[in-house]
Structure 1
Amino acid sequence: MSLKQTIEEIVEKHLPDASHFVVDVTVKEASGKQKVIILIDADEGLNIDACAKVSRAVGEELEAKDILEEAYVLEVSSPGLDFPLTSRRQYQKNIGRNIKVTLENGGEQEGELTSVEPLHVVLKTKKKEKGKKAVEEEVQLAFDQIKKSIVLVSFK
């Protein structure tokens, strides 16, 4: 089992409840120390207390089991808006929000995420034809065709 998988399993044991989930675990070198970055999220939003509890519990277990031999920095946070959506659960959490999807073929789609199905997501997009009013249409995008999806921030 890789170091990343080991840490991910430890994190999953220390999540506050079933509404919380692991988004990503990264281990990299930073200024001569290893840096462990753990991104977690929750179906109904994540608070700083949950991040602090996970950080303490994971840190204690990493130390007790001596998993990282060298000095390290442990960072636990939410993915933030600039981090791409990587799981169906993240897509599900963002239904009703506008997202920008970059496709494997280089194309892009923007629209409101309306549903998440087993093999695809559905976006409500606005298509404007020359000289006509914009028309809304639903577009299905297969997960295997999605390269990257990010939530668009609205200041309205």
Structure 2
Amino acid sequence: MSTTQSDRLRKLLEPIVAPAGMDLEDVKVTAAGSRRQLLVVVDADEGVSLDAIAEVTRAVSQALDASDAMGGAPYNLEVSSPGVDRPLTEPRHYRRNTGRLVKVQLAGGGELVARITAVDEEGLDLEVPGVKGRRPTARRLAFTEIAKARVEIEFNPKGGAAEDDTAADTDES
């Protein structure tokens, strides 16, 4: 996709997703046989529900039909939320994942797996798990110190759904 088309699509779609309380995270056009695939990725601080995705999809579809941003060739539209494996690149990505475990590749080399405890505009506070029974330690990273970062999948997250479900079952009794 050319930069011109990408810019045009972003300018067209950002005002559509913003009133829904969402951020336009990505726009990708790829070839899919004789058609093209337009992937629009949106996210919000509280996450994105299926109903919200459906509403935004209708609005995006109407805007695309009324414009020439995709040209005359047929395309498939997909509006989605980002997957858990997407790279964390903006302060809002880190903020939305506060409390989660992340794998960080440091700009100076090396790697760190830690839990995000707080985020501000300059960087993030982490809780680095202790090794061999030692207590976790606090660490501060500036965004400039981070080369790449992704959320680590946890099957039993600290303070996660399993604990919440147990507490909910107890309250209902």
**Preserved CA contact (<8 Å) 2:45 2:96:** yes
Alignment counterpart, residue 38 of structure 2, candidates 36, 39, 45: 36
Segments of structure 2 that go 5 or more residues without pairing to the other structure are: 157-173
When Rg is computed on C-alpha atoms for both structures, the one with the higher figure is 2
Q: Which amino acid aligns with 1:7?
A: L
Report deviation, 1:17: 3.6
Once the two structures are superposed, residues 67-86 of structure 1 have per-residue CA deviations (whole angstroms, 9 ceiling, x without a partner) of 11221121110101111222
**Preserved CA contact (<8 Å) 1:125 1:137:** yes
Higher helix share: 2
Residue matched to 1:20: 22
TM normalised by structure 1 equals: 0.86
**Preserved CA contact (<8 Å) 1:19 1:44:** no
Identity of aligned residues (%): 36
Q: Which amino acid aligns with 1:34?
A: R
Q: Which amino acid aligns with 1:146?
A: I
Q: CA separation in 1, counterparts of 2:32 and 2:147?
A: 28
Q: Which amino acid aligns with 1:76?
A: V
TM normalised by structure 2 equals: 0.78
The number of equivalent residue pairs is 153
Higher strand share: 1
Alignment counterpart, residue 113 of structure 1, candidates 90, 96, 116: 116
Poorly superposed stretches of 4+, deviation over 3 Å: 16-19
Is it true that 1:76 corresponds to 2:46 in the alignment?
no
**Preserved CA contact (<8 Å) 2:91 2:123:** no
Larger mean CA deviation between 146-155 and 46-55 belongs to 146-155
Q: Which amino acid aligns with 1:63?
A: D
Report deviation, 1:40: 0.6
